[in-house]
Amino acid sequence: MSQRTAAFFQAIFDLSSSIVLFLASFLALLLHGLRQVLTRRIPVKLTINEKNSALVSEHSTTTIFEMIKERCPSLYGPQATFRPTWWLPGGDLQTIWCVVAEMFYRDSIPYTRQLLRLPDGGTISLDVYPPFEGPDDDTPILFVLHGLTGTTQESYTRATVKDITRSKVETGTGFRVVALNFRGCDVDSPVTTPRLYHAGETDDTRSALLWLTQTYPKAPLYGCGFSMGASTLACYLGQEGDKTPLKGAICVSNPWDWVTATDHIENGGFLNRYIYGPILADALLTMFKNSRYAFEIDKRLNIKDIYSRRYVTIRWFDDRVTAPQFGFKDAMDYYDKASSSRYVHKIRVPHLSIQSADDPMVALKNLPTDDVAESDHVVMATTAVGGHVAWFTTREDRWFTTPIREFIEAIHSVCGQSLSNFYWTLIVHALVGSYTTTYARCTADRCQRSRSVPQFA
């Protein structure tokens, strides 16, 4: 072989080696990048007033911040991350999967239902799991409020129920869940008054909690709300202050400011304007039409016009149905007065808000971050990805159930099994013979007291 031929083959070999090395390096980088995408962990940003964090309870020496540091690894420390499933990388996909997954992976919770007749003649239904064992049952209760036009069988509610009610041996808490169906949302619950509900309406929440404290006085109470239910729960906590029987609460995907939230849903991106907004508005209209029998004689509403509509917007519905029902001037007046952001500084029990920066329903400008940073009781955990009440880590599992479980279990451990101040107050009044059960009727503007108790329906 000539020297020139040998040099040629050597050049070919060197070139081939370089190409192979390049391709191997490129493939290694590609696999590394793919691995990073598939296993990426989104850090949890915690907004908390570290210096002035309140005590978990007046009988505790532990602050809320100290409790989170010691007992909530999903919120604070190296494990405070969310790893979304790789095929749901953004907020829209995460949110849409909430609906799509229902077509394939739906498994209902075998609740026990309790109907309560309220002082105004209305009826609410409470779904309980697992069933109560008697009036002396002291199993801690997580009281749950669902989202707009939802029910207690929503996927996010079921995910929470499964995680919370599992025994401690199965990495659960062994708690009981009592979930409220807002009036008109569940087709099996009768609408017995010409009145539904709205985001700032706390009467039914207060009635349900009063019934629970009376019927199962030994059971510690905690609260959890999702989306609109989170807003209702936050409003209730702000109205009650330290008089609530709840020892702590978690709100997931709370819109906080309904003025900006409604504008964002109706005038945001393409999916907001043509998918999310119309679907929610249609669900509201359908719910109202399903309860037609209760509104036939309601002169506050233009029933004929409402029933003739096939397509409406959320604002149209609130202008013509919600506002007249509850005495608001119009939809904007309702949104302003029903916004739970007004109550951040009035919440007096440990409160965790879980939010996502890419929530298609709740813009970042909705979040009262500055108010939370100054609050001594409210904490906000935010992730860059998660969608609206979604946070899927697999096709069914959700990340938010972990901080919910850790947070309420931490409060329960710190507070112990002692009765709440609310219940001690009832005992003192009973002993002196001056105790009278009160049912509080509150609106966004005022609070009126009525001396009647929710009864079995």
Supply the residues annotated as catalytic. Answer: 227, 359, 388
- Surface-to-core class of residue 270, CB atoms within 10 Å of its CB (0-12 exposed, 13-18 middle, 19+ buried): exposed
Phi, psi of 224 (to 5 degrees): -150, 130
The beta strand positions in 173-299, using DSSP E, are 176-181, 221-226, 246-252
- Surface-to-core class of residue 216, CB atoms within 10 Å of its CB (0-12 exposed, 13-18 middle, 19+ buried): buried
What is the amino acid identity at position 307? Answer: Y
131 DSSP assignment: P
Evaluate the CA torsion angle 255, 256, 258, 264 in order and state its sign.
Answer: negative
Q: Of the candidates 413, 84, 415, 120, which has an alpha carbon nearest to the alpha carbon of residue 294?
A: 120
What is the amino acid identity at position 41? Answer: R
CA 403, chain centre distance (Å): 12
Cβ atoms within 10 Å of 423's Cβ, excluding its own: 17
DSSP β-bridge partners for residue 224: 144, 250
Q: Cα separation of 389 and 255, whole Å?
A: 11
Evaluate the CA torsion angle 302, 303, 306, 310 in order and state its sign.
Answer: negative
Q: Of the candidates 324, 336, 298, which has an alpha carbon nearest to the alpha carbon of residue 445?
A: 336
Q: Cα separation of 254 and 424, whole Å?
A: 31
Phi, psi of 180 (to 5 degrees): -95, 135
CA 270, chain centre distance (Å): 25
